[in-house]
Amino acid sequence: MKHWLVSKRGLAAIFAILVVSGFLALKSPGSSGTMNLGTVQKQDLIQRVTVAGTVNPARKMIITPPYNGYVKKLFVGVGDHVKAGDPIVSVSQTLRNPNEEVFPLRAPYSGTVVQVNKAEGEYVTQNDNGNFSNLIVRIDDTSSLFVDATTPEIEITKIKSGQEAQVRAPAVPNRTYKGMIRQIALAAKEQRDWDKSKIEFPIRIEILDPDSQIKSGMSVIVDVFANKLPQTLTLRHEFIQKDQDKYFAMLKGGKRVPIEVGIQNEEVFQIISGLKEGDAVMQADFLKLFKEQ
């Protein structure tokens, strides 16, 4: 039985969309005249893996009180750049003795103060059970920015260290950022018992051209360029049909030709053999396929 490359379950929905929108009568990019003819074209074929993630600095230091007490002195403010060893904050067990000698907590490395959550004289507690509600100061090493994300197991074999990526932040709609895969986990992320079916692998992408607009904690979408084939023969999905495990296309005159396909992305297949550049190919007959189902 012949099949167009759409699942049976989705065929009825697609047919309804086509009828409502007048799809069959419209022209589209890459087609010859009407929508039921497509053209074999040479173009760059980019296979993408899209993941969601969060921006993080190279390192971050959360400074919390070493014991219950009061913030005696803050030596920094948000936006300050500090060097390793600079004083950050001092905490005293009492404010009644102004002459009490208190040794300040110091910066462990150079970075930027990104958060100051307490004020001088405020009471702070040592332990908050990991919720960081007692955070006094946060220092980020922003010499590099990374995106920490996860990818489904079905896509993990496509991702390799060193691959290029494009990073988009909804909060920064006016530009995109260049990225590169720097780290791929060798084991899947640990899952809770109720979510064992969701198998994902952590990956880390470095942002190569960060600016002042992109900030730690922002949510981003990353397109990883898993495969790039320059100027290869391509044909859109809707003009390729399948019979059992063999692919074929119908030329403009009605001749059926077997074809061999390579990699694909969300729009096109790579054509390895069976067609040549400029060939006009007929689209699958939606009405006929719908009746066959």
CATH of the domain spanning 49-56+145-225, picked from 1.10.10.10, 1.10.10.60, 2.60.260.20, 2.40.30.170: 2.40.30.170
- For 51-82, the pLDDT digits (tens) are 999 999 999 999 999 999 999 999 999 999 99
What 8-state DSSP symbol labels residue 19?
Answer: H
Q: CA quadruple 225, 283, 13, 23: dihedral positive or negative? A: positive
Domain extent listing, the chain = 2-40+240-292, 49-56+145-225, 58-142
CB 88 within 8 A of CB 104: yes
Average pLDDT over residues 262-269: 91
CATH of the domain spanning 2-40+240-292, picked from 2.40.420, 2.60.40, 1.20.1060, 2.40.50: 2.40.420
- For 171-208, the pLDDT digits (tens) are 999 999 999 999 999 999 887 766 667 899 999 999 99
CATH of the domain spanning 58-142, picked from 1.25.40.10, 1.10.357.10, 3.40.1440.10, 2.40.50.100: 2.40.50.100
Per the listing, tokens 């893996």 go with 49
**Alpha carbon distance 8, 23 (integer Å):** 19
Residue 150 pairs in a beta bridge with: 202
Span between the terminal Cα atoms of the chain, in Å: 11
Global pTM value = 0.72
Token representation of residue 23 = 């799809």
Residue 257 pairs in a beta bridge with: 249
